[in-house]
């Protein structure tokens, strides 16, 4: 019997019990739909994290102060002040390093007041190179310049969220705001610019922050000194010329800082953008695998349903099998016929499950989670995988009933009532 004829016989046999076949297909539909929907969530999370990290800038290194060690216990990075503005200048001036930009920063949360309106936000003290390195464009006005850093000027660049909340119905450029950190007496700052919106990401709302000159931040708002009595910076952003020079740059910066700090053991940590991306990619990959495994249980349940319905079908059609054997059908023909029936059920369920999974993924993408839409990505690979797995489930769980049917003795089958 040709495969086409086997498929036709299988469809005719399934149509004889439409409700039973429909319920069997439903198990596969739910399983495949769950697999595609959950994989789309995992892949969407991975893509969103990748986009968020890449939005920070390209070819970046992040240098953070060292970790405080108490009673032999090493705490997290950044718990002790070790980096300074001079360290950043030394990195920028080192001609042997393939560095195209260096931007130190000091961050703190504070209160900003404009007339009778106030807003609590992140205050970043930094230098002009920060805008280029971290992909911040100015939508109105200008960013901090080197003169403002050298003169410790009291100027501020607002993020769009801050500007909207403090100046809802007027132009913020040229206005005066009062900034205070840790409950200290506020200092007056002149607004010189508003950055272009970057939106909220998994690393925080890039629009909800303000920028002031680094030296102004250290002298007037938030000052922390190193063991050598120098003003500390919380982070040094370094942009490298190309990705293939990352390792060389990390080694060169490490050697430079060890010599400047006169330490044998690093009192700083250097993390590359690729390191962060790799870490999150690993986390999301595990997350996707776990979700897929959970959804795969539904496919197993659907496969058990196929086996159950095929065993019932073999029992009900014992006389049919006997007649077919009596008129010349071989064991292989009987085996192929029942296998085709199982595969047709699983493939039909797989096709419907793909449509269901895509629909669920689209619904999930409209769900708002902490002000952000849940990202879902339905890839061709996940669809092909789900469809292939559904066919494999039909073959696997349909093989035993088909083998049992093919092994029936013709005489015993004909006498079966």
**296-314 tens-digit pLDDT:** 787 788 888 888 777 777 7
- pLDDT, residue 73, reads 46
pTM of the model: 0.67
Q: Which class for 278: exposed (0-12), middle (13-18), buried (19 or more C-beta within 10 A)?
A: exposed
Output the six-digit token pair for 264: 């044998």
Element (H, E) at 112: strand 99-114
Residue 268: predicted pLDDT: 87
Task: Give the Cα-Cα-Cα angle 378, 359, 48 (nearest 5 degrees).
Answer: 40
CA angle (328, 333, 339) in 5-degree steps: 155
Q: With beta carbons less than 8 A apart as the criterion, state whether 117 and 165 touch.
A: yes
Domain edges within the chain: 3-53+278-414, 81-266
Q: Which residues of the chain have pLDDT under 70?
A: 1-7, 9-10, 13-14, 54-57, 67-79, 200-204, 224-229, 316, 369-373, 409-417
Q: What is the pLDDT of residue 200?
A: 64
CA-angle at 188, arms to 187 and 190, nearest 5°: 140
Residue spans of beta strands (DSSP E) within 151-208: 155-158, 176-181, 187-195, 200-201, 204-205
Give the pLDDT of residue 305.
80
The pLDDT tens digits of the residues spanning 2-38 come to 666 666 766 776 677 777 778 778 888 888 888 888 8
167 φ, ψ to 5°?
-130, 70
Cα 410 to the chain's mean position, in Å? Answer: 59
Residue 234 to residue 224: CA distance in whole angstroms: 9
pLDDT score, position 142: 93
pLDDT at 72: 47
Task: Determine the number of helices (DSSP H) and then strands (DSSP E) in the chain.
Answer: 13, 16
Residue 41 backbone phi and psi in degrees, to 5: -65, -45
pLDDT for res 282: 78
């Amino acid at each position: 019997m040709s495969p086409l004829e086997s498929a036709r016989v299988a469809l005719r046999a399934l149509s004889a019990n439409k409700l039973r076949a429909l319920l069997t297909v439903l198990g596969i539909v739910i399983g495949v739909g769950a697999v595609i929907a959950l994989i789309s969530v995992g892949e969407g999370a991975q893509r969103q994290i990748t986009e968020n990290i890449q939005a920070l800038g390209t070819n970046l290194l992040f240098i953070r102060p060292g970790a405080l060690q108490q009673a032999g216990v090493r705490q997290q990075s950044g718990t002790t002040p070790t980096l300074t503005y001079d360290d950043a200048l030394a990195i920028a001036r080192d001609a042997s390093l393939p560095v195209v930009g260096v931007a130190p920063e000091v961050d703190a949360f504070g209160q900003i007041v404009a007339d009778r309106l106030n807003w609590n936000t992140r205050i970043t003290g930094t230098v002009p190179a920060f805008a280029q390195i971290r992909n911040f464009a100015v939508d109105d006005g200008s960013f901090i310049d080197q003169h403002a850093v050298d003169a410790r000027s009291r100027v501020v660049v607002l993020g769009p969220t801050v500007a909207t909340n403090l100046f809802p119905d007027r132009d913020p450029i040229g206005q005066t705001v009062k900034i205070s950190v840790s409950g200290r007496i506020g200092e007056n700052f002149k607004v010189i610019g508003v950055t272009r919106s970057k939106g909220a990401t998994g690393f925080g709302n890039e629009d909800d922050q303000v920028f002031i000159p680094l030296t102004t931040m250290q002298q007037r708002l938030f000052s922390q000194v190193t063991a050598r009595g120098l003003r500390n910076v919380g982070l040094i952003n370094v942009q490298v010329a190309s990705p293939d020079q990352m390792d060389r740059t990390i080694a060169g910066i490490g050697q430079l800082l060890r010599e400047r700090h006169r330490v044998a053991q690093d009192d700083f940590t250097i993390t590359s953008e690729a390191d962060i991306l790799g870490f999150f990619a690993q986390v999301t990959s595990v997350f996707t695998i776990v979700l897929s495994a959970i959804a795969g249980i539904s496919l197993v349940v659907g496969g058990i349903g196929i086996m159950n319905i095929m065993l019932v079908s073999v029992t009900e059609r014992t006389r049919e099998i006997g007649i077919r054997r009596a008129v010349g059908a071989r064991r292989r023909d009987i085996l192929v016929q029942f296998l085709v029936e199982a595969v047709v059920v699983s493939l039909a369920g797989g096709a419907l499950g793909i449509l269901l999974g895509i629909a669920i993924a689209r619904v999930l993408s409209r769900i708002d989670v902490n002000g952000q839409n849940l990202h879902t990505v339905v890839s061709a690979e996940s669809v092909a995988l789900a469809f292939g797995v559904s066919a494999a489930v039909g073959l696997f769980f349909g093989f035993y009933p088909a083998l049992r049917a093919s092994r029936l003795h013709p005489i015993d089958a004909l006498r079966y009532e």
